[in-house]
Structure 1
């Protein structure tokens, strides 16, 4: 039985949109395709998302939030701040590599969507640098790190490790030796925070 608009939720629409984007790509996917996949009218989709752009922004945010959610557990963990920092950076790199490698078609779609995203990417970067700042603050409080401005240090760490999480470098993530290069950058960053 086809779902009715009463049972339609934003989450179900986002799930269907992700599938439609995977199947048709961002250039051809329409709100009508999403509605058809859900068995509802396109007006029902528009009741939850006022425009196609709003729907695409919400899908992008949902995708980015998955990574933030994975990393938040490391921030709150009980291990030493240096260990959390290393684990957090490694988890970010692994999450981005997984997204690029496990479903390249969907990753290519999200590259298009993040380019057009209004605020989702900026909010994601803010969330990630805030998580980093919390780890660095914990390191300062424990005496492990000597950063005078944890927020500025977090932004610097994020920028310094960009090659290992910025999607524009995705093609390099499978190159031989990339893990060693990642470890070398992380070691340099951690030593810099000890100064």
Structure 2
């Protein structure tokens, strides 16, 4: 076994896969390309990820988890009221997607392809995000700030109502002038609807 193969970790493989995807795109990137970038055999990569699909799913999950992790602190911030947390959380979600789409459009397009292939990872991501929203809404109900029929139902409704500002299928609209004003108007309307 080569020294490179001895120190090979799933994290290193995922990082290399991201670079290979950046270079070749999702249609042409192969496990052999990833192995070559790492200086190992493709069998070494397969020891960590049984299939190419499993590797692509891990890359997708890592990309989605970055958003989840960035938002979790806002969802649980004890220094903000539930309304402030809700506004900050939804704004941060929109801004994170804007950055991803605007800073590296080719990689954003690549991840959009991977996300379409990995429905289970996307469903898990959405479930984690709506759990964070549910916690915010539940805190607002407990504080007497929000009137909601059920925190989980309300959280899903908030997530879907703001989909235009975080669902990658709308990324083309995010460059339009006035999109920030449109987001603010939707957010204000939703928050007013939640208040007691």
Check whether TM > 0.5.
yes
Corresponding residue for 1:174? 175
Corresponding residue for 2:128? 127
- Structure 2: how far apart are the matches of 1:167 and 1:45? 30
- Structure 2: how far apart are the matches of 1:80 and 1:139? 8
Cα distance 1:120–1:150, how it changes in 2: closer, same or farther (>3 A)? same
Matched, 1:33 2:33: yes
TM-score (norm 1): 0.98
SS of corresponding position for 1:50:
coil
SS of corresponding position for 2:4:
coil
Residue 76 of structure 1: how far off its partner (Å)? 1.3
Can you give the 5+ residue segments of structure 2 that lack an aligned partner in the other structure? Answer: none
Residue 174 of structure 1: how far off its partner (Å)? 1.3
- Aligned length, in residue pairs: 194
Corresponding residue for 1:21? 21
Corresponding residue for 1:89? 90
- Structure 1: how far apart are the matches of 2:87 and 2:136? 10
Residue 194 of structure 1: how far off its partner (Å)? 1.1
Contact 1:3 1:40 (8 Å CA) reproduced:
no
Residue 5 of structure 1: how far off its partner (Å)? 1.7
- Post-superposition Cα deviations, 1:26-49, rounded to whole Å, max 9, x if no partner, equal 000000000000000000000000
- Post-superposition Cα deviations, 1:132-184, rounded to whole Å, max 9, x if no partner, equal 00000000111110112000000000000000000000011111000000000
Residue 3 of structure 1: how far off its partner (Å)? 4.8
- Post-superposition Cα deviations, 1:48-98, rounded to whole Å, max 9, x if no partner, equal 000000000000000000000000010110210000000000000000010
Contact 1:3 1:38 (8 Å CA) reproduced:
no
Contact 1:3 1:39 (8 Å CA) reproduced:
no
Corresponding residue for 2:115? 114
Q: Which runs of 4+ in 1 moved over 2 A?
A: none
TM-score (norm 2): 0.97
Deviates more, 1:2-11 or 1:145-154: 2-11
Can you give the 5+ residue segments of structure 1 that lack an aligned partner in the other structure? Answer: none
Corresponding residue for 2:100? 99
